[in-house]
Structure 1
């Protein structure tokens, strides 16, 4: 199996980077081919340009020379894992930009039966992806995050499940209140992630 692992944290010494490394190492150890996509190291540009927005529904013209290599990596994968922190109860901007710029019409979905390129019934387009997982950390504790509605979890379990169209919902591994965790707690979460990835 080929697994695309998408990482979104700018600091190479961070705990989140340790999670990314643990995911990649565990998947490789079980025999998966890993495509490690570190968005910051690749200097991925999060903002959609004016031209990209104007060409958004122009299939396949929306696959510009900048966008197409990322789409190719997405299409080559059988499984996908996102490793990222939660900031301000949302995705880091660079990861949100990845979704906005790469998950295009003709790639992530197609619109059928409409009388214009931006109308019609939405059909999931990434049927190559069999499994999806999120590995994430929160500064807020679980109670405070629940009061806020936990948007990242809801997006993963609703938007991502619908977008990828997998048989089972995404695996969601979250460490809440990470800044107040003990060393044992931090290590325990990495061990949990390794166990889950060994069976992913």
Structure 2
């Protein structure tokens, strides 16, 4: 299976980077073809320009500035997002990726004024995340990242896409044992992904 791994964390020595390495290593050991997209390392520019916004709905030109990223997304059969959750949201670089790459004609089609899934190539979707606070606190604010993955991204991939949302909550009070256990869980989940 061709898996696009989207990684968004600026620090190579972070726990998030350890999660990213575990995901990539496990998928490769399984025999998957992994396209490892480290947004920070690749210098992805997250800012949607005025020109890009004006041409957003122009299907003949809207992907020109991000064509390589669009091609990678459209070649993938599975998508795995690895990132921390900061202030109950994605890192800005990842949000910018969604704004600039999940375009009309790429992740959705407009049909009679309604959106329709366009990422039919994605049959599996996973998010591997960490939250500083407890799950209850994320629940109190509606857990926007979980909703985006389980509703918006899954909606772009289609209802039949298999989905896993894997989160280590309460990182502010995590222990070596809790972090090691989560790394082990990620390996198990990716082996059966």
Given the two structures, how large is their TM-score scaled by the length of structure 1?
Answer: 0.94
Q: Provide the alpha-carbon RMSD of the alignment.
A: 1.0
Query: Are 2:19 and 1:26 equivalent residues in the alignment?
Result: no
The answer for the alignment partner of 1:140 in structure 2 is: 133
| Secondary structure of 1:96 counterpart | helix
- The aligned runs of 1:1-200 (5 Å cut-off) are 1-64=1-64, 66-113=65-112, 120-200=113-193
User: Structure 1: which 4+ aligned runs deviate by more than 6 Å?
Assistant: none
Task: Report the Cα offset of residue 168 of structure 1.
Answer: 4.2
CA contact (8 A) 2:107 2:117 kept: yes
Distance in 1, Cα, partners of 2:137 & 2:108: 34
CA contact (8 A) 1:112 1:123 kept: yes
Distance in 2, Cα, partners of 1:94 & 1:190: 24
Distance in 2, Cα, partners of 1:169 & 1:80: 10
| Secondary structure of 1:132 counterpart | strand
CA contact (8 A) 1:157 1:169 kept: no
CA contact (8 A) 1:45 1:94 kept: yes
Q: Which runs of 5+ in 2 are unaligned?
A: none
Deviations 1:117-175 (A, max 9, x none): xxx22111110000000000000111212111111112111112211114145200000
Q: Which runs of 5+ in 1 are unaligned?
A: 114-119
Task: Report the Cα offset of residue 83 of structure 1.
Answer: 0.2
Deviations 1:15-73 (A, max 9, x none): 00000000000000000000000000011111100110011000121121x31000000
Distance in 2, Cα, partners of 1:196 & 1:9: 21
CA contact (8 A) 1:127 1:166 kept: no
Distance in 2, Cα, partners of 1:70 & 1:54: 20
CA contact (8 A) 2:123 2:162 kept: no
Distance in 2, Cα, partners of 1:166 & 1:33: 24
Distance in 2, Cα, partners of 1:121 & 1:46: 26
Distance in 2, Cα, partners of 1:77 & 1:158: 19
CA contact (8 A) 2:133 2:170 kept: yes
